[in-house]
């Protein structure tokens, strides 16, 4: 029997880490994110940008920073609700982020009503803000992945390569 995709939830890895589906087989976060401390609605992370994610010389690609915020902003709410998706994500890039240098990220839950979550985080180095992130999260509908698979199955590829709903 195939696994129920809607049962999918982030669970601690063998070494106790919370990891996304892509990183779980590695038992390590490929973005360089580690939880340092978690209490109530606030989680502190130690983050090191791997050199392979550099954009400019010695500094992180903005996509790495956005992906880190997507992770940390989810983790702060995942501790309460394991079935979440990101609805929107806004990042402000204040200063370049160095590669291979630990930076701190503090993430918090600002608001939670029903399925709706508002979360925010700040990335700092020696107390100076490098970037901030803000996201809206949603508790997944019960059949989120099944609905997606059903929608995808209805899409047909036309001869010119474009998709059309059948």
Ligand X SMILES: CCCCCCCCCCCC(=O)SCCNC(=O)CCNC(=O)[C@H](O)C(C)(C)COP(=O)(O)OP(=O)(O)OC[C@H]1O[C@@H](n2cnc3c(N)ncnc32)[C@H](O)[C@@H]1OP(=O)(O)O
Please state, in angstroms and rounded to a whole number, the distance separating the CA atoms of residues 71 and 83. 14
Q: Which is nearer to ligand X, 127 or 142 (CB)?
A: 142
13 in Cβ contact with 24 (< 8 Å): yes
Instruction: List the one residue from 26, 51, 87, 163 that touches ligand X (CB under 6 A).
Output: 87
How far CA 61 is from CA of 32, 35, 49, in Å, comes to 13, 21, 9
Please state, in angstroms and rounded to a whole number, the distance separating the CA atoms of residues 142 and 56. 42
Please state, in angstroms and rounded to a whole number, the distance separating the CA atoms of residues 109 and 5. 27
Q: Which is nearer to ligand X, 58 or 145 (CB)?
A: 145
Site for ligand X in 13-72 (CB under 6 A): 18-20, 29, 33, 35, 70-71
Taking residues 108 to 137 in sequence order and writing x for each that binds ligand X by CB under 6 A, - otherwise, the string is -------x----------------------
Give the binding range for ligand X (CB under 6 A) out of 52-60, 82-90, 104-112, 126-134.
82-90
């Amino acid at each position: 029997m195939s696994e129920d995709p809607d049962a999918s939830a982030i669970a601690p890895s063998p070494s106790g880490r919370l990891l996304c589906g892509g990183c779980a087989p590695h038992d390590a976060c490929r973005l360089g994110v580690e939880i340092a401390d978690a209490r109530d609605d606030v989680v502190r992370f130690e983050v090191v940008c791997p050199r392979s994610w550099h954009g400019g010389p010695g500094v992180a690609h903005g996509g790495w920073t956005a992906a880190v915020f997507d992770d940390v902003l989810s983790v702060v709410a995942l501790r309460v609700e394991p079935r979440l998706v990101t609805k929107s994500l806004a990042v402000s890039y204040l200063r370049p982020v160095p590669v291979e240098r630990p930076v701190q990220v503090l993430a918090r839950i600002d608001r939670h009503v029903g399925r709706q979550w508002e979360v925010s985080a700040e990335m700092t180095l020696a107390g100076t803000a490098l970037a901030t992130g803000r996201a809206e999260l949603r508790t997944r509908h019960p059949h989120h992945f099944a609905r997606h698979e059903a929608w995808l199955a209805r899409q047909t590829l036309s001869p010119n390569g474009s998709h059309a709903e059948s």
